[in-house]
Structure 1
């Protein structure tokens, strides 16, 4: 068995980014930038008013009250074309360009108007309520770096920069192949010795949430012909993930059958609980990750290994799981030689931190406990015992890999 750290290193070093494509910014949210984005215009393009009021020269309102002649108005999209002289003002509205000769905005609340004469009751320093040209960004300035996952905020920024199209990494296609005569899909007729196939649904949801595209190849029967034939569906995928069939039983055929099809094994079995029978290799040029059959094992292995691999496929740096501090509500015994990921739930708070309780039954087949769990408590090999009230680090399941 190899360590979790070594297994992750081997997987990530074998993964390469997928190809890129150009998409409209309307379709770019959630995608990973393949090239840096540079502003194509200056924003704002000229000095603008930040308030409704009057555009004036600051020197004309140095002594208050000041009476000025109103010679026109400036509105957003309809600027005042003339020039403003001494003793003059222009009625102006939010977002409108400052007329030539003005440098300050007097808000309308600080004025009284009578016909074409406005009396300024409160003065203002030069530049008050003025949005200077380029205060947001300037043409040619770098805006977004390659490798960034685009948010709705980024879409707004690019639109303001007059960028209609962007180069992004295409969504990696991950082929999922479940194995086992005992498996049937939800809703299908269920034999006395069969169970519902859940792993592909869980892993597919994680892939889609992370930004990839899951391709469900179906359920291969426990025979060589079925497995070989169905695995061919992964030929054009960016990665093949098998679910089950990676252990040591007579019916665990993935390694032996796919070995005849060119599978080169990098490692098989890691010092991890749950997830010991994890397999990784290359199947005729396609990276292959062989997940354990137990649902908890496959989900945790997806968090630890598949999501960082997806990051690289999508052109971004692999993220580390984000941990937060918490307090133990009970003692935890010393760990053995395998790195352990204990399912736990938050049962309260103590000293401003979540108070957690690990489940007494950590069996890797228990989907009910997995659904109820809020977090994982990771225990290194041979970790010392932990005491009730001790501070620990936990991995929140719904935010294990927050976008940064």
Structure 2
């Protein structure tokens, strides 16, 4: 019997089959959730000049004990007010440019003003430059503010705009076809007989993809018929990735592999040393990458987390595309593992992780209750309560 492919090797082989998508230029208001295709270079200093971080009065630090004469007012969004000399101050507001000669801001709460005479009532400035934001203190023109492959969240987009950009290059969103197979499937919400089941897997996988820069469409409830499956694969070949769900094993009605072969597909690997998710298959059908996920919901979810989502992130231009392991202390003992890596649905709370008693991959109730996959490498020994283990957040 051919040995099962180790998990890490299978992940590497899948990525090796792919190439990141070509980049496209979009405006900043269309870039949320995408990955930057090239380093973002600042077009300006931020701040562009020395400015106040507080409402108060701009002074010279050497005159920090006052009194001062107020000679002007500096507002945010206006050119700098008149320069100040010894013994002078200028009323200043948060975000206003510091007038020439000033190097420190006294908070308005720390002074008493009578007409244009200003006196100190509390020590405002133990350090020179107090309450001043200096030119280039955040970043300087010409510096790299964000690296290629960075995910564009709300903060990153704000950073790009303040650096002087209104549009940018991002990875193109890959097109994904989701093919859910099985004679037993009925539409969501439809009445099902005992031998039938609502088609949940394609909805679940589409929801997982919705958090990524991808364009997905579902071709659902394909019957267990070779011609029907071949037609569905043909229909999906305009997509960059074709994901099949169910029919990936070796039973008489598991027709994904035969249909894939009949269509001229080239299998790269099939069957992984992992639990759940052993029957996973991957290959190429002309220009499309194909991933065949198992049909049990738990298995489909785990394999999508470990293979499909990293692939989509890689295609979309991410510099960090693999799942990130975290650590927690197990609240229960864990038995030894066999020759397959295991991913147990679990709950992480207050630094502790608890694997559910049942790990039946058909039970969606367990998956819905979980917020983590507890990772146990192949050939791991038993671990007592209190052991530090690795997990993936889900």
Fold equivalence (TM over 0.5): yes
Does the 8 Å contact 2:342/2:375 carry over to 1?
A: yes
The reply to whether residue 324 of structure 1 matches residue 327 of structure 2 is: yes
TM-score by length of 1: 0.89
Does the 8 Å contact 1:79/1:99 carry over to 2?
A: no
Alignment of 1:70-85 (within 5 A): 70-85=70-85
The reply to whether residue 116 of structure 1 matches residue 119 of structure 2 is: no
Determine the structure 1 residue equivalent to 2:367. 370
Q: Distance in 2 between matches of 1:123 and 1:5?
A: 59
Q: Which of 387, 392, 395 in structure 1 is aligned with 2:391?
A: 395
The reply to whether residue 38 of structure 1 matches residue 41 of structure 2 is: yes
4+ residue segments displaced more than 6 Å:
none
Determine the structure 2 residue equivalent to 1:252. 254
Q: Distance in 2 between matches of 1:173 and 1:223?
A: 25
Q: Distance in 2 between matches of 1:335 and 1:197?
A: 32
Of 118-127 and 372-381, the range deviating more from structure 2: 118-127
Determine the structure 2 residue equivalent to 1:402. none
For 1:210, what is the secondary structure of its paired residue? Answer: coil
Does the 8 Å contact 1:328/1:392 carry over to 2?
A: no
Does the 8 Å contact 1:73/1:79 carry over to 2?
A: no
Change beyond 3 A, Cα 1:34–1:222: same
Structure 1: which 5+ runs fail to align?
399-404
Of 365-374 and 114-123, the range deviating more from structure 2: 114-123
How far apart are 1:145 and its partner, in Å? 0.3
Does the 8 Å contact 2:356/2:366 carry over to 1?
A: no
Q: Distance in 1 between matches of 2:149 and 2:62?
A: 50
How far apart are 1:314 and its partner, in Å? 1.4
RMSD of aligned residue pairs (Cα, Å): 2.2
Change beyond 3 A, Cα 1:236–1:72: same
Change beyond 3 A, Cα 1:241–1:98: same
1:99-155 residue CA offsets vs partner (Å, 9 max, x unmatched) = 223223233333333333333455745423222211122222210000000121112
Structure 2: which 5+ runs fail to align?
none
Does the 8 Å contact 2:373/2:392 carry over to 1?
A: yes
Determine the structure 2 residue equivalent to 1:294. 296
Change beyond 3 A, Cα 1:342–1:227: same
How far apart are 1:203 and its partner, in Å? 1.2
Name the count of aligned residue pairs.
Answer: 388
Determine the structure 2 residue equivalent to 1:6. 9
TM-score by length of 2: 0.91
Of 170-179 and 84-93, the range deviating more from structure 2: 84-93
